[in-house]
Amino acid sequence: MGDAFAAPDAGWVRVSPRLALARRIVVLPLVLVVVAAVIVALALAVAPWAAALAGLVGLLVAVWAWWLIGRQVAAVGYAERGDDLLVTRGIMFRELVVVPFGRMQLVDVRAGPLDRRFGIARLQLHTAAATTDASVPGLPAAEAQRLRDHLAALGEARSAGL
Amino acid sequence: MTEASPAPGADLSSRPRRTHPLTPVAEVGDKLPGILVAVFVLGRDLPGGIVVRLGLALLVAVVGAGIGWLIWWRRSFWFDADGDLRIASGVLTRNERRVQSSRLQSVEVSRPFLARLVGLAEVKPEVAGGENAHVRIAYLSEPAAVALRAELLARSAGVRGTGSAAVEAPERVLVRVPARDLAVSTLLNENLILGALVGVATIVVAVVSGQSASLVGILLAGGIPGVGLVNGFLAYYDFSVAESPDGLRLRSGLLSTRAQTVPPGRVQAVRVAQPLLWRRSGWYRVSLNVAGSNRREGENSGVVLLPVAPYPVVRQLLSRVLPGVDIDAVDLVPAPRSARFRAPWQQPRLACGLDDEVFVSRGGRVVRRVDIVPHARTQSVRVTQGPWQRWLGLASVHVDSTPGPVKPAARQRAAVDARAVAEAQVVHAAAARLGFRPERWARSNRPATETP
Instruction: Kindly compute the dihedral angle of the four CA atoms of residues B43, B44, B47, B53, in this order, to the nearest 10 degrees.
Output: 50
Whether residues A126 and A62 fall in one domain: no
d(CA B32, CA B43): 16
CB pairs under 8 A between A and B: 108
In-domain check, residue A121:
yes
Lowest mean pLDDT segment, chosen from A115-124, B155-164, B178-187, B272-281: B155-164
- Is residue B247 within 8 A of residue B239, CB to CB? The reply is no
Considering only residues B53 and B329, tell me which one the structure prediction assigns the higher pLDDT. Answer: B329
Lowest mean pLDDT segment, chosen from A80-89, B143-152, B207-216, B261-270: B207-216
**Long-range pairs for B343-351 at CB < 8 Å and ≥24 separation?**
B343/B411, B343/B412, B346/B411, B346/B412, B347/B412, B350/B411, B350/B412
Please indicate if any CB of chain A lies within 8 Å of the CB of B443.
Answer: no
Query: Which DSSP state fits B336?
Result: P
pLDDT tens per residue, range B303-324: 899 999 999 999 999 988 888 8
In-domain check, residue A6:
no
pLDDT tens per residue, range B113-144: 888 888 999 998 888 755 555 788 888 999 99
Whether residues A82 and A37 fall in one domain: no
**Which residues in chain B (242-261) have CB-CB distances under 8 A to chain A?**
none
Considering only residues B41 and B412, tell me which one the structure prediction assigns the higher pLDDT. Answer: B412
d(CA B195, CA B190): 8
Whether residues A34 and A56 fall in one domain: yes
Angle between helices B179-187 and B224-236 (to 10 degrees): 160
In-domain check, residue A2:
no
Mean pLDDT of B339-366: 92
In-domain check, residue A97:
yes
Query: Over chain A, what is the mean pLDDT?
Result: 89
pLDDT value at position A157?
A: 83
In-domain check, residue A144:
yes
Lowest mean pLDDT segment, chosen from A131-135, B77-81, B233-237: A131-135
pLDDT value at position B441?
A: 53
pLDDT value at position A146?
A: 93
Contact B387 A92 (CB under 8 A): yes
pLDDT value at position B352?
A: 94
pLDDT value at position B32?
A: 77
Residue B94 has pLDDT above 90, yes or no: no
pLDDT value at position A93?
A: 93
Of B103, B398, B429, the CB nearest to A100: B429
Mean pLDDT of A94-106: 90
Contact B129 A128 (CB under 8 A): yes
Residue B241 has pLDDT above 90, yes or no: yes
Mean pLDDT of A86-95: 93
Residue B450 has pLDDT above 90, yes or no: no
Whether residues A133 and A88 fall in one domain: yes
Domain with A117, as residue range(s), is 77-158
Residue B5 has pLDDT above 60, yes or no: no
pLDDT value at position B445?
A: 42
pLDDT value at position B59?
A: 87
Mean pLDDT of B426-438: 79
Lowest mean pLDDT segment, chosen from B57-66, B70-79, B129-138: B129-138
Contact A1 B419 (CB under 8 A): yes
Share of chain B above pLDDT 90, in %: 36
Please indicate if any CB of chain A lies within 8 Å of the CB of B398.
Answer: yes
Residue B161 has pLDDT above 60, yes or no: no
Share of chain B above pLDDT 70, in %: 83
Residue A1 has pLDDT above 50, yes or no: no
Residue B451 has pLDDT above 50, yes or no: no
Contact A97 B423 (CB under 8 A): no
User: Which positions ≥6 away from B32 have C-beta within 8 Å?
Assistant: B61
Q: Which CATH number is A112's domain given? A: 2.30.29
- Find which of A87, A96, A104 to mutate to test the B interface (most B CBs within 10 Å of its CB): A96
d(CA A18, CA A15): 9
- Is residue B138 within 8 A of residue B23, CB to CB? The reply is yes
- Is residue B359 within 8 A of residue B352, CB to CB? The reply is yes
Whether residues A60 and A84 fall in one domain: no
CA distance B97 to chain A (A): 20
* SS3 sequence of chain A: CCCCCCCCCCCCEECCCHHHHHHHHHHHHHHHHHHHHHHHHHHHHCCHHHHHHHHHHHHHHHHHHHHHHHHHHHHCEEEECCCEEEEEECCCCEEEEEEEHHHCCEEEEECCHHHHHCCEEEEEEECCCCCCCEEEEEEEHHHHHHHHHHHHHHHHHHCCCC
Strands B104-111 and B95-99: unpaired
Domain positions in chain B: 12-173, 178-236, 264-434
d(CA B152, CA B262): 12
- Is residue B369 within 8 A of residue B336, CB to CB? The reply is no
Whether residues A33 and A84 fall in one domain: no
Helix, strand or coil for residue B340? helix
Between the CA of residue A94 and those of A6, A20, A132, B317, B411, what are the distances in Å? Answer: 12, 18, 15, 38, 14
Closest chain A residue by Cα to residue B425: A98
- Under the banding of pLDDT at 50, 70 and 90, the label for residue B9 is very low
Mean pLDDT of B240-261: 90
- Is residue B408 within 8 A of residue B401, CB to CB? The reply is yes
Residue A144 has pLDDT above 70, yes or no: yes
In-domain check, residue A11:
no
B contacts of A133 (beta carbons < 8 Å): 382
- Is residue B112 within 8 A of residue B49, CB to CB? The reply is no
In-domain check, residue A125:
yes
Tally the C-alpha atoms within 13 A of residue A68's C-alpha that lie toward its C-beta: 11
Neighbours of A23 (CB within 10 A): 20
d(CA B50, CA B333): 70
A contacts of B382 (beta carbons < 8 Å): 95-98, 131-133
Total residues belonging to chain B? 452
Cis omega before residue B139 (within 30°)? yes
Residue B380 has pLDDT above 90, yes or no: yes
Instruction: Kindly compute the dihedral angle of the four CA atoms of residues B423, B427, B430, B431, in this order, to the nearest 10 degrees.
Output: -160
Considering only residues B389 and B199, tell me which one the structure prediction assigns the higher pLDDT. Answer: B389
Mean pLDDT of B93-104: 84
Q: How many structural domains comprise chain A?
A: 2
- Is residue B171 within 8 A of residue B242, CB to CB? The reply is yes
Per DSSP, helices labelled H in B285-384 are 311-321
Considering only residues B100 and A159, tell me which one the structure prediction assigns the higher pLDDT. Answer: B100
Which ipTM was obtained for this model? 0.89
Closest chain B residue by Cα to residue A104: B379
Mean pLDDT of B283-308: 75
Contact A132 B380 (CB under 8 A): yes
Query: Which DSSP state fits B446?
Result: S
Whether residues A41 and A94 fall in one domain: no
Closest chain B residue by Cα to residue A162: B377
Show which of A72, A89, A109 is a domain's final residue.
A72
Closest chain B residue by Cα to residue A133: B382
Residue B444 has pLDDT above 70, yes or no: no
Contact A100 B430 (CB under 8 A): yes
Q: Across B45-54, B83-92, B297-306, which has the greatest mean pLDDT?
A: B83-92
Contact B426 A98 (CB under 8 A): yes
Of A2, A100, A162, the CB nearest to B426: A100
pTM over the 0.90 mark = no
Considering only residues B322 and B51, tell me which one the structure prediction assigns the higher pLDDT. Answer: B322
Q: Which of B89, B145, B137, B87 is nearest to B120 (CA)?
A: B145
B contacts of A162 (beta carbons < 8 Å): 103, 105, 128, 266, 268, 291, 377, 402
d(CA B267, CA B247): 10
Query: Over chain B, what is the mean pLDDT?
Result: 82
A contacts of B422 (beta carbons < 8 Å): 4, 96, 98
User: Which positions ≥6 away from B113 have C-beta within 8 Å?
Assistant: B255, B256
pLDDT value at position B1?
A: 38
pLDDT value at position B183?
A: 92
Closest chain A residue by Cα to residue B381: A98
pLDDT value at position B154?
A: 86
pLDDT value at position B3?
A: 39
